Amino acid sequence: MLNPFIALCRSMPTMALVLILLLAVRSAMLPTAVAFLVVFPLCYENMLAAISETDKKLITMAKVFKIPKWRQVTGIYIPAMLPFVFSSIIAGFGLNIKVVISAEVMGLPSMSIGYLILSARQGFNFGVSFAWLAIAVILSLVCECILQLVKRLCMPYKYPDLKIIKGLVAKMLAGYGKPKGAGVK
């Protein structure tokens, strides 16, 4: 159903996509449109793979025992899809940062990282240009670390070493909002 669209998005060079979309959308919307069209095929393919890789024996067992559909979705399909979902989110986010910045350089929405990099370069202020590039790289790394942590928190059955982190988070949240000295006698 979506295969021709997916194939077109996957095969088209990113800069060609940027130039075509530059004619079709406002410059402020260009990075968002390009990011969607570049990352959507990756996410779509991963979701199809996740659904097809779901354990058929578990599905058969759920049908034999007449498990309700919503329980099948929450107990079989979602846990089977989570590794694929996080894989596509993490890969897509890293790709997205690069694509959005290159689209910002072409579309020039005001006060975006791509615009600021290009403005600094045009003013021969290469130090500022490299500083913005470093900020983009650091932003990407921080976001990837956060996504990896969320992945580990959402799939504790795959990461048993996470009990330490969960204990620390529980301790932090238990003490959050209490007045200083509360609970101490």
- Which structure tokens are listed for 21? 């979309």
CATH number, domain with residue 131: 1.10.3720.10
Question: Does the residue 185 lie in any domain?
Answer: no
The predicted pLDDT at position 181 comes to: 56
Burial (CB count <10 Å: 0-12, 13-18, 19+), residue 183: exposed
pLDDT tens column, 113-150: 888 888 888 888 899 999 999 999 999 999 999 998 88
- How many domains, the chain? 1
Position 183, amino acid = G
The predicted pLDDT at position 163 comes to: 64
Question: Does the residue 182 lie in any domain?
Answer: no
Q: State the pLDDT confidence band at 183, using cuts at 50, 70 and 90.
A: low
Quote the DSSP letter at residue 178. P
Domain that holds residue 34: 3-175
C-alpha span between 120 and 40 (Å, rounded): 31
Question: Does the residue 147 lie in any domain?
Answer: yes
Question: Does the residue 180 lie in any domain?
Answer: no
For residue 37, which of 19, 59, 55 has the smallest C-alpha distance? 19
pLDDT tens column, 5-42: 888 888 888 888 888 888 888 888 888 898 899 899 98
Close Cβ partners of 185 (under 8 Å, ≥ 6 residues apart): none
For residue 152, which of 31, 144, 177 has the smallest C-alpha distance? 144
Angle between helices 163-175 and 126-154 (to 10 degrees): 100
Quote the DSSP letter at residue 86. H
Question: Does the residue 148 lie in any domain?
Answer: yes
Question: Does the residue 171 lie in any domain?
Answer: yes
Question: Does the residue 183 lie in any domain?
Answer: no
The predicted pLDDT at position 62 comes to: 92
pLDDT tens column, 83-117: 999 989 998 998 889 888 888 888 877 788 888 88
Contact 81, 52 (CB under 8 A): no
Close Cβ partners of 108 (under 8 Å, ≥ 6 residues apart): 27, 114, 115, 118
